[in-house]
Amino acid sequence: MNWENMPLLIILVLAVIGDNQSVALAALVLLLIKLLGLTAWFPSIETHGLNIGITIMTMAVLTPLAQGRISLGEMMSAFKTQSGLIAIVIGIFVSWVATQGMHFLKASPEATTALIVGTIGGVCFLHGLAVGPLIAGGFVAMIINALNSFKQ
């Protein structure tokens, strides 16, 4: 194994130590793809992986609706409670922030490495979720835009 595999190996070890199966599995699969010489898959994974992952995550969130465990009446009642209204507003805000993060990460690849390190740290040691880079990127973009507006 050469040194360029070391970052994935370190992430794998940290994920195992931090007891995070999702990150461990992701690092292991990418390491295996690399070791098996299937690197031609990387551009497709990079291009489509995020959308596929978001689609699968959305399917998981919508499954209770599909199973009939959440009714239309229960959905409508979310508009009648304080926590429901706050959840709707925060859901809209966070999805917008994540979109800003996706645009920021595409435009600022140098920040991607730092966000990945921070996300892996949060996932492995704080038992966070690996959806952090998009949201974190959105917050970084918002902060940078705010700081740039003060410079003018």
Each residue's pLDDT tens digit, 4-45 = 899 889 888 887 887 778 878 989 999 999 999 999 999 999
Each residue's pLDDT tens digit, 79-107 = 888 888 888 898 899 888 888 888 887 78
pTM exceeds 0.75 for this model: no
Domain ranges across the chain: 71-152
Each residue's pLDDT tens digit, 130-146 = 766 678 888 888 888 88
CA 94, CA 142: separation in Å to the nearest integer? Answer: 12
The whole-number average pLDDT for the span 47-72 is: 88
